[in-house]
Chain A
């Protein structure tokens, strides 16, 4: 059963705290709240370049095993998805989701002229630029610019991290980043900051300094707003590691009636040049546990239909293994979509073509900006073109 926020506030004694902060309550009028039923996007960023070929294993392909004599995953070990493909053994819960039509996989996602530097390729994915284009804003930041022209605050998109990623930086609006809502709330409550704000006359200054004061005021308001909503009770049993804690924070916010539409969280490092199996398995285990708790929680609270979890990494890895039982930087990769509201299920396209490599790397077939266009148009219900700069044909998975 859904706990109504108002009754929860009363029960938890936060009501009295709210009365002391009429300003922020005023700032979040009822029409800015997000009613249940509205769609939420959770982006899961895999830092370091996850090896897609040992994530979705083409276990009927001889080239795969020939290229990876030391690290190839056998059909017996892999979790069965289809006759041609299996999942990494540490992703058992994702295997269940796949069987139930709640995980779809898109193969061969990338962009033309792929860059093999982690930083630059991540830059490209986060800003949704071409390989020869340099943008100072991110695709979700520009979503905020478009979507949030009149909102006073920056809680429409939240990153669970100490610092904000380029992905959530817009031209006029920014997402909001924090790791621990309580710590952030306490920092925001500093009387010094309040006195700085009280002493500054926002109305009259048409100066850069006003921009700073506005950001500060907004931060203060948002930290209180977020903290209050983050107290919502979650029902899952979350694993005690960073991703587990972060997804628990996200769940508590989703289950409240906060206005947030986008959450951003990352895990790594997937940069497996040496001894890949142990490292990838350890990280996958964390992802698997954390997602199991998260999805179970959402299902219990009837919100799984409204939440889409999307995973990506800055690039995939070389098809052939290297001499250290690892893999080097590659190009195209797969993306996962997890939701109770998928329109297209299973494998969304054909597996990677291991016969036509370019310098040992996969050649992408789907531009990642088509995925962004899909999510923006079909899930978040906004026009993608002004955000992505060009028209990219949406897919149909949501």
Chain B
């Protein structure tokens, strides 16, 4: 006789597998549905995760326009640039950044390596930075995607040495005898040990250690020896002629770093409310493993507690999660290539444009009257072609003095046949229920009476499509 524990049963319910897909990725794709519905396929989890551990291909939006030139030649060219050249270069970067945004969104929607892209999205929020240089951004994105599930010390080192971060946190003005503390402060407060685990003195001394770190225009890290303060520094009670690399090593030696990261990961992937016992144990393991991110994530997603009721269907999808999730569940194409960007701007979550170095807000902070109304209307706009105009907030860092324009062009061509195919094994009488189970992770759902009132029941296809658009307009669909 085989004894099946109740927990194991929980782990292989359809909702549980979808829970994994929503948290370890951007939701279940329509094409995943037949497999998910065969609830017994417990190895869905293994399959879902394993693709993410392969090395990712670069997302390439731009080529270096100065390829083949020496640094001296590049800086002369930039210095001599006239108004037209400058405009052209600005345009090159702006278009490049938009393209990179599109490429990454596409990757989030269609990549099999869901966990890697989700994790990279997490790291983008963690190592939040903005820059107007498309080459720097492209390189930064590659770093966070490549190291997303690797060892945190490598990720930290690579991000800290990326041109995007160096410029964002004023590395070029951090020089011997006139240090700029911006990077030293943020690396401690936001990237590693967290508030309360360092002193102002540690920041001052660390800033000295980072002097000389710089980047070239095309985005290579350079160490300017002449600007580096070689003197002795005292950090976390230890003295030495520390370099920037030494400081990053000192930071990951602190157990506080493991705790800080684990807590943030738990809040993002599991529950905003911390379970102290679990987080402590995860954090200890994470530290002992030399900060193996992939291993930590595997532990989380194979645990029993991850699939407990209180961890399912209680997370408010951020705008990116909502958009990518809809696109995965309901395959669609856009006539307007800027559609995803328009949506991001309206909702206030534009990739590569976090509000500040602390990243985006989360949870209920995404919801107010207007954002909720817009979220609830979105599926109808996508499906029915009733585009309406909403003007996003001004972003003068990008507009260059121009007025902000209304966002348009969110109407999509939905690939209904692909969607219907996902339900091919479902009997007609169960079709409505199957849509609800696929779309909603919450315990509660709109009442059957209400669902029937708004669903077209004249054919299987119209039931599936009308029920889908209806449920995507429900408050429950905002959660995963």
**Residue pair A271, B396 in contact (C-beta under 8 Å):** yes
**Residue pair A207, B444 in contact (C-beta under 8 Å):** yes
**Residue pair B443, A175 in contact (C-beta under 8 Å):** no
Interface size class of B (residues with CB under 8 A): 35 or more
Proximity string of chain A (131-175) to chain B, C-beta cutoff 8 Å, 1 when within and 0 when not: 010101000000000000000001000000111111001000011
Cβ contacts under 8 Å, B314 to chain A: 207-208
Proximity string of chain B (449-480) to chain A, C-beta cutoff 8 Å, 1 when within and 0 when not: 11001100000000000000010011110110
Proximity string of chain A (175-210) to chain B, C-beta cutoff 8 Å, 1 when within and 0 when not: 111110000100110001101101111000101110
Proximity string of chain B (352-385) to chain A, C-beta cutoff 8 Å, 1 when within and 0 when not: 0101111001011101111111101100000000
**Residue pair A193, B401 in contact (C-beta under 8 Å):** no
Interface size class of A (residues with CB under 8 A): 35 or more
Given contacts A119-B395, A164-B370, contact A269 B403 (CB under 8 A): yes
**Residue pair B396, A208 in contact (C-beta under 8 Å):** no
| In the complex, A120 has a CB within 8 A of chain B | yes
**Residue pair A215, B368 in contact (C-beta under 8 Å):** yes
**Residue pair A117, B442 in contact (C-beta under 8 Å):** no
Of B358, B374, B392, B394, which contacts A266 at CB under 8 A?
Answer: B394
**Residue pair A123, B401 in contact (C-beta under 8 Å):** no
**Residue pair A195, B395 in contact (C-beta under 8 Å):** no
Stretch in A251-259, A272-280, A331-339, A379-387 touching the partner: A272-280
**Residue pair A174, B395 in contact (C-beta under 8 Å):** no
Q: Which residue of B lies closest to A324 (CB)?
A: B83
Q: Which residue of A lies closest to B406 (CB)?
A: A162
**Which one of B368, B444, B447 has the greatest number of beta carbons of chain A within 10 Å?**
B368
Cβ contacts under 8 Å, B447 to chain A: 199
Cβ contacts under 8 Å, B449 to chain A: 199
Given contacts A200-B446, A207-B444, A208-B316, contact A269 B371 (CB under 8 A): no
**Residue pair A162, B346 in contact (C-beta under 8 Å):** yes
A266-B357 Cα distance, complex, nearest whole Å: 25
Cβ contacts under 8 Å, B372 to chain A: 212, 215-216, 219
Cβ contacts under 8 Å, B185 to chain A: 132
B394 to chain A, nearest CB (A): 4
Given contacts A209-B442, A269-B404, A273-B401, contact A163 B454 (CB under 8 A): no
**Residue pair B443, A207 in contact (C-beta under 8 Å):** yes
A273-B368 Cα distance, complex, nearest whole Å: 35
**Residue pair B356, A120 in contact (C-beta under 8 Å):** yes
A329 to chain B, nearest CB (A): 9
**Residue pair A269, B397 in contact (C-beta under 8 Å):** no
Given contacts A134-B358, A163-B390, contact A47 B475 (CB under 8 A): no
| In the complex, A218 has a CB within 8 A of chain B | yes
| In the complex, B409 has a CB within 8 A of chain A | no
Of A154, A215, A269, A279, which contacts B399 at CB under 8 A?
Answer: A269
Cβ contacts under 8 Å, B315 to chain A: 208
**Residue pair B365, A211 in contact (C-beta under 8 Å):** no
| In the complex, B391 has a CB within 8 A of chain A | yes
Cβ contacts under 8 Å, A184 to chain B: 373
A175-B369 Cα distance, complex, nearest whole Å: 8
| In the complex, B294 has a CB within 8 A of chain A | no
Cβ contacts under 8 Å, A209 to chain B: 313, 442, 444, 475-476, 479
Which residues of A pack against B, CB within 8 Å?
47-49, 117-120, 123, 132, 134, 136, 154, 161-166, 169, 174-179, 184, 187-188, 192-193, 195-196, 198-201, 205, 207-209, 211-213, 215-216, 218-219, 222, 266, 268-269, 271-274, 279, 314, 324
Which residues of B pack against A, CB within 8 Å?
83, 130, 185, 313-316, 346-348, 353, 355-358, 361, 363-365, 367-374, 376-377, 390-397, 399-404, 442-444, 446-447, 449-450, 453-454, 470, 473-476, 478-479
Known: A196-B475, A212-B475. 4 other contacts (CB 8 A): A48-B394, A154-B368, A154-B369, A192-B470
5 A-B contacts (beta carbon < 8 Å): A154-B368, A176-B369, A266-B394, A269-B394, A273-B401
10 nearest A-B residue pairs (beta carbon): A134-B358, A118-B396, A212-B475, A174-B368, A219-B369, A199-B447, A271-B401, A136-B361, A199-B450, A47-B394
